[in-house]
Amino acid sequence: MQFNLTEEQLMIRQAARDFAQTELKPGVIERDEHQKFPAGQIKKLGELGFMGMMVSPQYGGSGMDAVSYSLVMEELSKIDASTSVVLSVNNSLVCYGLERFGNEEQKQKYLVPLATGQVIGAFCLSEPEAGSDATSQRTTATDMGDYYLLNGIKNWITSGSTASTFIVMAQTDASQKHRGINALIVEKDMDGFEVGAKENKMGIRGSDTHSLMFNDVRVPKANRIGDEGFGFKFAMAVLEGGRIGIASQALGIAAGAYELSLQYAKERKAFGKPLAELQAIQFKLADMATEIDAARLLCHKAAWLKDNGKPYAQAAAMAKLFASDTAMRVTTEAVQIHGGYGYVKEYHVERLMRDAKITQIYEGTSEIQRIVISREVLK
């Protein structure tokens, strides 16, 4: 593993940093306040090639590596995690899953417009009774010969109202348990597909999170990814990569809060001197910097392993676990360093603290990451 970034990676990081400052920062507080989806910003990210970063140019992608993806996620998340989560789902779960497991027809029909940013994708696993438990799917896909009849409800779906292409996990043969689950590509305009009310969330309020209802939706068998019963393996594979994206998002949220705190501590005076000269503040900044650096190394290690075709499940879970916990600790300390100013929206850190919490929940809670890690270390 190389600790120095390549020239290309440095250029990609700078492009993402510039985009975050010029395109995301203006209006980010308003988008959070009014739960406004960053449609214009997402469109521009597609034009930059960031919506299909790791997809082969053969299918309209940019052909970048996972380390570059982690860098972009970090830089965008420093400013606006609502935007970065849309990019994360589109890249890590939808595009990656289609390119790795989809057939050529599916790639041409669905992957190309997703990778080029013409449309947005969504990944539909969580349910009212299942959460992230892919083995307990109550959404059913009844085999009707040349199509499946899809019925059920999915919860907490990122880009639920703005996506056009949905990968839906559904149970076809309950007697087979996890071996009876299929992954189906569903189009938004299919009859019987209904988008529920938008969730009023604590954080990442700019992203649109919805419940989805499927009422006798006819999904052609040509839209099944992989063989019959492959859905569970598909979900586990894409979630591994998804953890790298969310770990990098958590890292970015923490890094953004730290950078704001560092600047504030140098400028704000108390007891006749800058806050940065107070040892209590210095210790906080030291801990924040150390944890962020450790989280970054874990993220880049997991991405590097993925780029080099090595097993990365444990590394991705470790990165997601540590980075998300770091995000909560760092953003909480950032609010504390800012004092009363940290409690108002103008200084950004209160939003970062709210955004940080979700990183401990989605793509599997911190407890699930510990299960994944313990299984790997006990092998």
pLDDT digits (tens, 9 = 90+) for 235-288: 999 999 999 999 999 999 999 999 999 999 999 988 889 999 999 999 999 999
CB 243 within 8 A of CB 229: no
What CATH fold (topology level) applies to the domain 238-378? Butyryl-CoA Dehydrogenase, subunit A; domain 3 (1.20.140)
Whose CA is closest to 337, among 324, 327, 347, 325? 347
Residue 50 has pLDDT above 80, yes or no: yes
Amino acid at the residue 302: A
What's the confidence (pLDDT) of residue 78?
Answer: 98
Dig out the tokens for 28 from the structure: 């980010």
User: What CATH superfamily is the domain 122-231?
Assistant: Butyryl-CoA Dehydrogenase, subunit A, domain 2 (2.40.110.10)
How far apart CA 89 and CA 243 sit, in angstroms, is 10
Structure tokens at 78: 């420093």
For the chain, percent of residues with pLDDT exceeding 90? 92
Name the CATH architecture for the domain at 7-120: Orthogonal Bundle (1.10)
Predicted local confidence at residue 363, as pLDDT:
78
DSSP class of residue 268 equals: -
128 pLDDT band, cuts 50/70/90, is: confident
Instruction: Please tell me the predicted confidence (pLDDT) of residue 218.
Output: 98
Which among 320, 253, 239, 332 is positioned nearest to 83, based on CA atoms? 253
Average pLDDT over every residue of 110-130: 93
Cβ atoms of 188 and 163 within 8 Å: the answer is: yes
Q: For 99-112, what is each residue's pLDDT tens digit? A: 999 999 999 999 99
Q: CB-based burial of residue 90 (10 Å sphere; 0-12 exposed, 13-18 middle, 19+ buried)?
A: buried
Query: Are the beta carbons of 76 and 16 closer than 8 angstroms?
Result: yes
Decide if pLDDT at 130 tops 80: no
* Catalytic residue from among 127, 240, 291, 363: 363
Neighbours of 256 (CB within 10 A): 29
- Tell me how far apart the alpha carbons of residues 53 and 95 are, in angstroms, rounded to a whole number: 9
Q: Look up 363 and say whether it is catalytic.
A: yes
pTM strictly above 0.85: yes
The pLDDT value recorded for residue 364 is 77
Tokens of 149: 């009849």
Average pLDDT of the chain to the nearest whole number: 95
Name 169's bridge partners: 183
- Averaged pLDDT for residues 20-24: 98
The pLDDT, as a whole number, for residue 132 is: 60
Residue of 335, 329, 366, 77 whose CA lies nearest to 206: 77
- How many Cβ atoms are within 10 Å of 221's Cβ, its own excluded? 15
Question: With bands split at pLDDT 50, 70 and 90, how would you rate the model's confidence at 131?
Answer: low
State both tokens at 90: 């589109």
What pLDDT is stored for residue 270 in this prediction? 86
Q: Please give the sequence-ordered ranges of beta strands (E in DSSP) within the chain, or none if there are none.
A: 121-124, 140-143, 147-158, 165-171, 181-187, 193-198, 209-220, 269-270, 273-274
Domain range annotation of the chain: 7-120, 122-231, 238-378
DSSP string covering 131-188: TT-TT----EEEE-SSEEEEEEEEEEEETTTT-SEEEEEEES-GGGGGGGEEEEEEET
Evaluated on CA atoms 132, 134, 136, 138, the torsion sign reads positive
137 confidence band (pLDDT: 50, 70, 90): confident
- Cβ neighbours around 183 below 10 Å, total: 27
